[in-house]
Structure 1
Amino acid sequence: MTTTTADEALLGRARTLLAEHPVVDGHNDLPWALREQVGYDLDQRDISTDQSAHLHTDLARMRAGSVGAQFWSVYVRADYAGDKAVSATLEQMDCVRALAARYPEQLRLAFTADDMETARAEGRIASLMGAEGGHSIGCSLAVLRGLHALGVRYMTLTHNDNLPWADSATDLPVAKGLTRFGEAVVREMNRIGMLVDLSHVSADTMRDALRVTRAPVIFSHSSSRAVCDHPRNIPDDVLEQLAVNGGVAMATFVPKFILPEAIAWTRSADANMEANGFHALDTTPAAMVVQHAFEAANPRPRASAATVADHLDHMREVAGVDHIGIGGDYDGTAFTPDGLEDVSGYPNLVAELLGRGWSETDLGKLTWGNAVRVLREAEGVAASLADEPPSVATIEQLDGPVAHGPHED
């Protein structure tokens, strides 16, 4: 692709804007990649040097991409059950803390909106944690509180499989949204100041959570279903409710969620991975050999920064500019859009939006302001609920006996 003088001018403007309003990214799976690839041996994957052959993320490329705050996903696989899921989540959290301790001049652990602003003022990247999937709490509100006390600031209610108390977007509906215990989880998250993340959940779960919550919610890495009809994306009626709720939908970059032509291709690629003995989400070097061989034989439809911008245009139109953000899902996907190959690419997206006439004020909300605001407002709700006692509800009390299957949580 030929770069024109106009393109270079837009890119220069984008970088200038991002110097003042850096990116808050809602979702990055670096901790899981480090677990899978090197068993958390940070000497083998030193992110202070370029590891582009293995990762989408390192410190130099975060700086090049003007990342000012990162919600690191402390994801564990949805087939991890009970205590295994809880302990693996704690190991993921330990990885985030280890990264911050290893690179203190670059990363700063952040637990509040004020911490995010302090990190920006210091020239460091605010490092927050988000748990991806309610299986991480093992159906225990006490564990939920424990994760918050240790620094987790959002929880995605489900991952790819249903929970006993909430339906996932990519599983067959059972609860038809949230159960009574699921509603109790949302209320307790409000009480302690943990953001409710509605990425990965079914549309009915989204609607139930928006009905129950007293605080703004987020979608840490989801795009528009009207633009790409994938169940992982957000329907327009939910985007409209999000504007009333005050929350933020953070558009993701995963090609199969943003490009209609990529949906069927990815289904075939995932089947090929499983036929070769790999989990569909595996991004280890051995798994990527299989992925790239499949891609060579079956060229994939290619998304671009313009594809993501199409989603953001629509999401801004429906939800409003105060309710959108960015959640790339780097190191949690095998493929990325052209121009957004890794965490250095955010200026390309901002340049694309500038070329479409987005104002610098609106872009500052998209990249930084909205995400900081929503965390601050969740903190305010928690402060207003400080006199409420911790919930001692159990799933058995609220929903009855739980059938423990292969995806027990």
Structure 2
Amino acid sequence: MARLLRSFVPALVLPVLLAAAPAPVGDAAVRRAEAVLARHPVIDGHNDLAWEIRDHHDAAVESLDLSAGTDRLPYPLQTDLARLRRGHVGGQFWSVWVPADVEGPRAVEMTLEQIDIVRRLVARYPRDLVLADSAAAVRRALREGRIASLIGVEGGHQIDGRLAVLRQYRALGAAYMTLTHGRSLDWADSSTDAARAQGLTAFGRQVVAEMNRIGMLVDVSHVSDATAAAAIAASRAPVIASHSGARAVADVPRNLPDDLLRAIGARGGVVMVNLYPAFLSRTWRDWDMARTAAAKATGVPANLYGPKAPLPLATWDRAHPMPRVGVAEVADMVEHVARVAGRDHVGLGGDYDGIGGTAPEGMAGVDGYPRLFAELVRRGWREADLAKLAQGNVLRAMEAAEAVARAG
């Protein structure tokens, strides 16, 4: 989740500019991409719909109609069943996120509430969704034509320092845990906070070992470089970055340097590319930070964009147009990760509904993946590598983690 920049990330922004553009009629690359994705649907590593349902829809799963277009709601969402189908999403890791400043037993309670939202969501749409906590369950869902619904816990603070809580999350279906979020812990450091553990402490290594033992993927999105390196070294199973990017392309702390991309690949892991423009383009991030500073200077909120922007910001926006970030920039990031880590070690973790209306142009919602795959087709990607990007790499990492757990 792109929550570390939430103070200047909108939930509603420029829907016209960011609307998905229709594909050219008769575009051979689009036709090929659609055919590839029909055979190899995307397994997306990160989606924050559960938090959005909680935060803006009163956790009312039963009264929120995901079979309708949620982009037309008063508070629009980037995810609904029709767009998941159009985007050829065959598996989704639903993030169960708790703000990093929520600690102790309340963090555990809120995590359980988030898991409850995911499970109720799946129960409401049994023809479309099915819970999955293993690679075999995902493959079964794909054969049935249903969307495998996996759970990812987005922050080690959510276990409240207790391995028993970690085990219970796994028992409830969680398939990965991100070791930190926006704040450092006593046992692991965040990429956006001062170090406390200097990597991983002895307890941090215990957490990794227990995750290996119970078949839970270790996720290094959000962690510091030192913590990522320590986790990769400590883990007997492949490590993933569920929604990250490459620092060489966009120099921001949340992205990974090339040496860590290589290390994740060398150990069989997967780096799943985040679609938040700040992680795709330093130019975009610098623009948004300048916009936030302008908002602060004039005493207006920074998270209102387009026609909802207060007059001082609307004036600022006219003088400082938003930099364009689109499908080409996403493809650039995918290709860099693939070059450095290897095409066997790149995936997709869109962070939809955690990035608000700031998704790349042409990929405004979960239905945007065919456009990315069409762009990669134009760049010469073959079906075998597109299939790995879509699902093969993350399934292989899951199977490897499960094998480590079986071996004890």
Task: Work out whether the TM-score is over 0.5.
Answer: yes
Cα drift, residue 240 of structure 1: 1.1
CA contact (8 A) 2:47 2:352 kept: yes
CA contact (8 A) 2:291 2:316 kept: no
Aligned to 2:370: 347
1:337 to 342, 354, 360: 360
Whether 2:69 is the aligned partner of 1:50: answer yes
Whether 2:337 is the aligned partner of 1:315: answer yes
Q: Are residues 246 and 274 of structure 1, via their aligned partners in 2, closer, same or farther at CA, if it must alter by over 3 Å?
A: farther
Aligned to 1:358: 381
Please show how residues 43-122 of structure 1 align to structure 2 within 5 Å: 43-53=62-72, 54-122=76-144
Cα drift, residue 131 of structure 1: 0.4
Q: Distance in 1 between matches of 2:384 and 2:280?
A: 25
Q: Distance in 2 between matches of 1:197 and 1:147?
A: 15
Q: Are residues 273 and 70 of structure 1, via their aligned partners in 2, closer, same or farther at CA, if it must alter by over 3 Å?
A: farther
1:373 to 389, 393, 396: 396
Cα drift, residue 77 of structure 1: 0.6
Aligned to 2:263: 241
Cα drift, residue 211 of structure 1: 0.9
Secondary structure of 1:17's counterpart equals helix
Residue identity opposite 1:30 in structure 2: L
Q: Distance in 2 between matches of 1:220 and 1:296?
A: 37
Aligned to 1:267: 289
Q: Distance in 2 between matches of 1:360 and 1:253?
A: 22
Number of residue pairs aligned between Structure 1 and Structure 2:
380
Aligned to 1:395: none
Q: Distance in 2 between matches of 1:320 and 1:218?
A: 14
Cα drift, residue 9 of structure 1: 1.4
Q: Distance in 2 between matches of 1:321 and 1:277?
A: 45
1:41 to 60, 80, 89: 60
Cα drift, residue 297 of structure 1: 3.7
Q: Distance in 2 between matches of 1:357 and 1:192?
A: 39
Cα drift, residue 266 of structure 1: 2.6
Q: Are residues 161 and 368 of structure 1, via their aligned partners in 2, closer, same or farther at CA, if it must alter by over 3 Å?
A: same
Aligned to 1:399: none
Aligned to 1:157: 179
Q: Are residues 121 and 381 of structure 1, via their aligned partners in 2, closer, same or farther at CA, if it must alter by over 3 Å?
A: same
Secondary structure of 2:43's counterpart equals strand
CA contact (8 A) 1:93 1:129 kept: yes
CA contact (8 A) 2:61 2:117 kept: no
Cα drift, residue 219 of structure 1: 0.4
CA contact (8 A) 1:273 1:290 kept: no
CA contact (8 A) 2:130 2:147 kept: yes
Cα drift, residue 173 of structure 1: 2.2
Q: Distance in 2 between matches of 1:212 and 1:377?
A: 15
User: What is the TM-score with the length of structure 1 in the denominator?
Assistant: 0.88
CA contact (8 A) 1:255 1:302 kept: no
CA contact (8 A) 1:137 1:143 kept: yes
Cα drift, residue 164 of structure 1: 1.3
CA contact (8 A) 1:106 1:125 kept: yes
Q: Which moved more, 1:37-46 or 1:213-222?
A: 37-46
Cα drift, residue 358 of structure 1: 0.6
Q: Distance in 2 between matches of 1:269 and 1:44?
A: 36
Q: Distance in 2 between matches of 1:291 and 1:246?
A: 48
Unpaired segments of 5 or more residues in structure 2? 1-20
Q: Which moved more, 1:120-129 or 1:267-276?
A: 267-276
Whether 2:163 is the aligned partner of 1:141: answer yes
Unpaired segments of 5 or more residues in structure 1? 386-409
Q: Are residues 132 and 297 of structure 1, via their aligned partners in 2, closer, same or farther at CA, if it must alter by over 3 Å?
A: same
Describe the superposition over 1:57-93 as per-residue Cα deviations: whole angstroms up to 9, x where unpaired: 0000000000000000001111111111100000000
Q: Distance in 2 between matches of 1:312 and 1:292?
A: 38
Residue identity opposite 1:340 in structure 2: M
Cα RMSD after superposing both structures = 2.3
Describe the superposition over 1:230-288 as per-residue Cα deviations: whole angstroms up to 9, x where unpaired: 1111110011111221000000100001111012223245567889797x8x8xx9999
Q: Are residues 50 and 351 of structure 1, via their aligned partners in 2, closer, same or farther at CA, if it must alter by over 3 Å?
A: same
